[in-house]
Amino acid sequence: MTRQINGDDLREQVAGELLRSRARSTALTDAVDEHDLVRQHSKLMSPLVWDLAHIGNQEELWLVRDVGGREPVRSDIDEYYDAFKFSRSVRPELPLLNPKEARQYVGDVRGKVFDVLEKVPLQGRRLVENGFAFGMIVQHEQQHDETMLATHQLRTGEPVLHAPLPPGGNLVPATETFIPGGPFEMGTSDEPWALDNERPAHAVHVDSFFIDTTPVTNGEYAEFILAGGYDDRRLWTDDGWEHRTNAKLVAPRFWQREEHSFVRTAFGVTEPIVPDEPVVHVCFHEAQAYATWAKKRLPTEAEWEKAARFDTAAGRTRRYPWGDEEPAEQHANLNQRHLRPAPVGAYPAGASPAGVHQLIGDVWEWTSSDFGPYPGFEVFPYREYSEVFFGPDYKVLRGGSFGTDKSAIRATFRNWDYPIRRQIFAGFRCARDA
Ligand SMILES: [Fe+2]
């Protein structure tokens, strides 16, 4: 989003983003039959039809009822689509809307939302300023689309999603780069659609460190496995070892070992791993063990953001690694344009001033940091967006994946998950003390 957008331009931009997110939700749910929409592909995920109606329900709560002050479309279903009321594992047993009803419902809500968008003043109330509530709902839908993409990855059966291959890799001049110590501005106070946990902008001192110029690749990760990394207790934390043992981890999720090589299955297609593609579907503990094996560590969240945004020569923090302009095709592997991470060096135009590649897009990157509030954090607009998740249970992930939409990623954007999660499109890069 550009920082200040007014009147008709803003309404037009919001409408475009609403249409783009809906086209994606529709494609992800139309790709499978009724049975695949209502069934649970994994205990970790909701049925796809739940995500669809939940997208509509959140949109109704915020844009139809709150922003628009209109009558409910369907107040009888709120509780079934409240993510805090019923966990993912029990959602299939709820009296959910069937696929036809869910499609009808999200369409009815959207019709009212376009009417609200036309009529409501986009000022005078913080919730609507710069179209924030609409932006929040666009991001919410795109985030659920990424979740639905993860459900597609867990689904078994013939491939139903198709996309062109990402651009080819290029040689990246150095494997790591030095980031000089000193303060930088972390977070944001002026990005109109930034969420509460990204705010406010604040100065953070970061000691000098080195960070890898690319995410860790399949080839590098395979070396760690073949070197016995999963069996070497010394590489794992206590929690990590316990989890690796209980969950019997031996390789990234969706990998199969064949003697000394590996194949992986992605969206129904099984093929040999591509050595120079970033590794994906590893949990925090696996990332941490790899980093220890490589005699490095995971970056902190502040280190990641400094490497992504800080322009040492200019002494200023950028919006994105490549500058202030919106992500375009040459910058990053986003928007589900491709169904896999791109090989390292595929996006030289997206590198940060320090020469760090592929920070945005490709794979979410685990950091060593717990999810917590920035100094001066204020809940907005509701506690359940971020605040209830703050604490040591969740680790922060940065940068977005190939399945993240550009509206739902910024260099300040913070994602969080349990350190054992592997169904998300997460990889990592390493750092080390200078
Ligand atoms: Fe949600």
Q: Give yes or no: residues 190 and 326 share one domain.
A: yes
**What CA–CA distance (Å, rounded) separates 223 from 260?**
10
Task: Tell how far the Cα of 55 is from the centroid of ligand 1, in angstroms.
Answer: 7
Q: Give yes or no: residues 408 and 356 share one domain.
A: yes
Residue 5 predicted with pLDDT over 70: no
Q: Which residues contact residue 151 at a Cβ distance below 8 angstroms, ignoring those fewer than 6 apart?
A: 41, 42, 45, 46, 48, 51
Reported as a single tens digit per residue, the pLDDT across 399-409 is 999 999 999 99
List Cα–Cα distances, 201 to 204, 311, 350, 403, 421, in angstroms.
9, 16, 23, 27, 29
Q: Is residue 246 included in any domain, yes or no?
A: yes
Q: Which residues contact residue 393 at a Cβ distance below 8 angstroms, ignoring those fewer than 6 apart?
A: 370, 418
Residue at a domain's end among 131, 154, 177: 154
78: domain range? 7-154
Reported as a single tens digit per residue, the pLDDT across 420-429 is 999 999 999 9
Q: Give yes or no: residues 71 and 171 share one domain.
A: no
Reported as a single tens digit per residue, the pLDDT across 53-74 is 999 999 999 999 999 999 999 9
CATH code where residue 297 lies: 3.90.1580.10
pLDDT, mean of residues 306-324: 96
Q: Give yes or no: residues 186 and 107 share one domain.
A: no
21 is in an annotated binding site: no
Q: Is residue 1 included in any domain, yes or no?
A: no
Residue at a domain's end among 98, 124, 154: 154
Task: Tell how far the Cα of 368 is from the centroid of ligand 1, in angstroms.
Answer: 25
Amino acid 1: pLDDT: 44
Task: Tell how far the Cα of 54 is from the centroid of ligand 1, in angstroms.
Answer: 7
257 is in an annotated binding site: no
How do strand 261-266 and strand 269-272 relate by DSSP bridges? antiparallel
Q: Is residue 2 included in any domain, yes or no?
A: no
Task: Tell how far the Cα of 411 is from the centroid of ligand 1, in angstroms.
Answer: 22
54 is in an annotated binding site: yes
89 is in an annotated binding site: yes
Q: Give yes or no: residues 321 and 385 share one domain.
A: yes
Amino acid 7: pLDDT: 76
Q: Give yes or no: residues 313 and 381 share one domain.
A: yes
Task: Tell how far the Cα of 199 is from the centroid of ligand 1, in angstroms.
Answer: 20
Reported as a single tens digit per residue, the pLDDT across 7-37 is 789 999 999 999 999 999 999 999 999 999 9
Q: Is residue 148 included in any domain, yes or no?
A: yes
Contact (CB, 8 A) for 50 and 96? yes
Reported as a single tens digit per residue, the pLDDT across 223-268 is 999 999 999 999 999 999 999 999 999 999 999 999 889 999 999 9
Residue 221 predicted with pLDDT over 70: yes
383 is in an annotated binding site: no
Q: Give yes or no: residues 36 and 179 share one domain.
A: no
144 is in an annotated binding site: yes
φ/ψ region of 259 (left if φ > 0, alpha if ψ in -120 to 50, else beta) reads left
How do strand 391-398 and strand 414-417 relate by DSSP bridges? antiparallel
Q: Give yes or no: residues 96 and 206 share one domain.
A: no
Task: Tell how far the Cα of 63 is from the centroid of ligand 1, in angstroms.
Answer: 14
Task: Tell how far the Cα of 44 is from the centroid of ligand 1, in angstroms.
Answer: 14
Give percent of the chain above pLDDT 70: 99
Reported as a single tens digit per residue, the pLDDT across 206-216 is 999 999 999 99
Task: Tell how far the Cα of 140 is from the centroid of ligand 1, in angstroms.
Answer: 6
Confidence of residue 2 (pLDDT cuts 50, 70, 90): very low
90 is in an annotated binding site: yes
Task: Tell how far the Cα of 81 is from the centroid of ligand 1, in angstroms.
Answer: 9
Residue 380 predicted with pLDDT over 80: yes
Residue 81 predicted with pLDDT over 70: yes
Average pLDDT, the chain: 96
Q: Is residue 223 included in any domain, yes or no?
A: yes
**What CA–CA distance (Å, rounded) separates 29 from 49?**
8
CATH code where residue 27 lies: 1.20.120
Overall domain count for the chain:
2
CA-closest candidate to residue 97, choices 30, 18, 37: 37
